[in-house]
Amino acid sequence: MSDAETRTANQPNLVEKMHELRDAYLQTWSKYLIEEVNSESYAQASGAALNSYLKAAAPLKEPADQAMLRTLQQLHMPSSADFAGLAGRFTNIEMQLDNMDAKLDRMEERFTRLQAVAPAAARRPVEVESKAQAAPARQAARKTAEAGSRAAAPKRRSTVRAARPAKRAAPAKAVRRDSRKGGK
């Protein structure tokens, strides 16, 4: 090996030394800042700064909201109020589906009860020779089933319908306004 090669091999790499110094510097600052940010005084100072910012921004909040709403309307995009309205509609639809499910459950219960109550002869298929003779037999079986289901259980109102006010017996009277008198 030449003399120059041995000198470069023994010399420390300057880039590695700079990386070590940088890492030590960052580690020291990191420890200091973590301690400072977790202190009570920092929490109070940042809270005071945020409160002053909110107080200064409060008068600008409503105009900014109105400008954003106008921009969204011009771009034909939904606003947060539109999403809230949709959420209310979805909730209403979900409640209606739950009511329909409850009604279907009651209908299924009545049907099984009716099948258990109906005499075996009514459930047995009627042997007929033609379609013309089968129609009266089907009508008689249907009437028997309807009579049994009406007597089986009284009609119940769903929870949503029970919570609503009753409909008016008579429609509201129209009020005519006379523009000449300024009143009714």
Comparing CA positions, the residue from 29, 159, 172, 166 lying closest to residue 98 is 159
Which range, of 42-46, 100-104, 170-174, averages the lowest pLDDT?
170-174
Residue 84, pLDDT > 90, answer yes
Residue 183, pLDDT > 50, answer no
**Looking at residue 13, what is its pLDDT?**
85
Average pLDDT over residues 31-48: 93
d(CA 36, CA 59): 33
**Count of alpha carbons within 13 angstroms of residue 114, beta-carbon side:** 21
DSSP string, 39-98: SHHHHHHHHHHHHHHHHHHHHHHHHHHHHHHHHHHHTT---HHHHHHHHHHHHHHHHHHH
Q: Quick one: tokens of 42?
A: 């920092």
**Looking at residue 14, what is its pLDDT?**
86
Average pLDDT over residues 30-53: 94
Name the residue with higher pLDDT: 158 or 88. 88
Name the residue with higher pLDDT: 181 or 39. 39
pLDDT band at 142 (very low <50, low <70, confident <90, very high): confident
Phi, psi values for residue 178, rounded to 5°: -100, 115
Cα torsion at 92, 96, 101, 107 (round to 10°)? 170
Which range, of 14-18, 37-41, 128-132, 157-161, averages the lowest pLDDT?
157-161
Give ∠ CA 112-116-121 in degrees, rounded to 5.
125
**Looking at residue 139, what is its pLDDT?**
75
Specify whether the CB–CB gap between 128 and 184 falls below 8 A. Answer: no
Say which DSSP state 164 is in: S
Average pLDDT over residues 153-176: 52
Specify whether the CB–CB gap between 119 and 145 falls below 8 A. Answer: no
Whole-number mean pLDDT of the chain?
78
d(CA 123, CA 112): 13
Say which DSSP state 104 is in: H
Name the residue with higher pLDDT: 91 or 142. 91
